[in-house]
Amino acid sequence: MNSSVTDRIIPGRFAGKRAMVTGGSRGIGAAVARRLGAEGALVAIAYRSRGHEAEEIASEIATAGGRAFAVQADIGQPGAIDALFAAWDETATRIAGDDRLDILVNNAGIASAAPLSEIYEHAFDRIFAINTKGPAFVSQQAVRRMTQGGRIVTIGSGAAKQPGALNGAYGMSKAALLAMTRSLAVELGQHGITANVVAPGYTRTDMTAHMLAEPRFVERLEQITALRRIGEPEDIAAVVCFLASDDGGWLTGQWIEATGGYKLVP
């Protein structure tokens, strides 16, 4: 069974909720933004460079009767996160009356493409600025606005535990998100705020397009994955949205592998 995304929409699940998705212009973040918007949330789609794509997703959501807006922020740049939240405050207040935020999806991320033993320091710093420091400081700003409880869902990676040959720095930057998430869970649980990580396996996006263009690689992945297929962004969005929903409220501080059973087949 692999029902279409439209079949899986739960109408009104996020009615009255306000959400921000970083890296919402493409891939996994775009699927999350679309689903949150389709299920009733006001969604801020944060992007780095693909403003056109982010605007298109916002207008798709609006055409279907939802509410969304695009906002630019390179979360690896100093000052960008403050500017992102200044834009949130201004736009959310105009659209919804105040700056409350209920759901944060820390999705923006970049991969590394060099062995750890050779990576340049500036490349290492950039990966950590976007993948690790970014989510920490976006979360810090977000929780100040989570005045009625909240949900923080951060996208990790299987590479945190099993980095391949070229993604040592990436794996390190993602592994740190467990400690970030557990800290946030402990600090904020008393305010009704949960924090969890969703760690996808190989998922069809621009990030993996070069690898998944290789048929033998895809065949091998499918053979060792229990569900015998590659993940789609919508598969990850479904897990993220469950955690972001009221029904996800008893899970906090967890690292959830969303892989379709990757490497379970011997």
Binding stretches for ligand NDP (CB under 6 A): 22-23, 25-29, 47-50, 73-76, 107-110, 130, 155, 157, 200, 202-203, 205-208
Catalytic residue among 47, 170, 202, 262: 170
Measure the CA angle with vertex 250, ends 249 and 251; round to 5°: 95
Question: In whole angstroms, how far apart are CA 147 and each of 118, 142, 226?
Answer: 45, 10, 41
Q: Name the token pair of 259.
A: 């892989």
Rounded to an integer, what distance in angstroms lies between the CA atom of residue 257 and that of residue 239? Answer: 10
Rounded to an integer, what distance in angstroms lies between the CA atom of residue 252 and that of residue 230? Answer: 27
Rounded to an integer, what distance in angstroms lies between the CA atom of residue 240 and that of residue 237? Answer: 5
Judged by beta carbon, residue 26 or residue 34, the one nearer ligand NDP is 26
Rounded to an integer, what distance in angstroms lies between the CA atom of residue 127 and that of residue 199? Answer: 17
- Could you tell me the smallest distance in angstroms from the CB atom of residue 22 to ligand NDP? 6
Q: Name the token pair of 202.
A: 């190989």
Judged by beta carbon, residue 154 or residue 252, the one nearer ligand NDP is 154
170 counts as catalytic? yes
- Could you tell me the smallest distance in angstroms from the CB atom of residue 78 to ligand NDP? 12
Maximal CA-CA distance, the chain:
55
Nearest alpha carbon to residue 139 among 107, 91, 111, 169: 107
Judged by beta carbon, residue 148 or residue 207, the one nearer ligand NDP is 207
- Could you tell me the smallest distance in angstroms from the CB atom of residue 61 to ligand NDP? 16
- Could you tell me the smallest distance in angstroms from the CB atom of residue 51 to ligand NDP? 7
Judged by beta carbon, residue 101 or residue 221, the one nearer ligand NDP is 221
Please give the positions annotated as active site. 170
